[in-house]
Amino acid sequence: QVQLVESGGGLVQPGGSLRLSCTASGRSISSNAMGWFRQAPGKEREFVAAINWNGGDTHYADSVKGRFTISRDNAKNTVYLQMSSLKPEDTAVYYCAVDYALGYLSERARQYDVWGQGTQVTVSS
């Protein structure tokens, strides 16, 4: 079974940038779609971005379009989330997940099969 570990979170000022990484072990994710989600205290987990198996298709939540970029390096078994122009509203725990199903990229958390433990992102001055 695959294990996912997120890294790269931390404290950043509004307007700053941060890059998150999600590294898989135990199994290749090169054939699978991947997603990023986030969850703030007291709020529901929400979709951020998704990418198909070869990076040819991406999908973003409206709240992050133009600011975040999802990418992957299948040779490294890793997916990235480059975050720019960060806002306090972006503060949350960020999770990556793998979707073993075939088809369109999904915004639904329940579509994804394996999750990482998350990494905290705090945007504050």
Mean pLDDT for 80-107 is 95
pLDDT at position 104: 87
The bridge status of strand 119-123 relative to strand 10-12 is parallel
* Average pLDDT of the residues of the chain: 96
Token digits of residue 27: 């199994």
Model confidence at 87, pLDDT cuts 50, 70, 90, reads: very high
Mean pLDDT for 88-103 is 95
pLDDT at position 111: 95
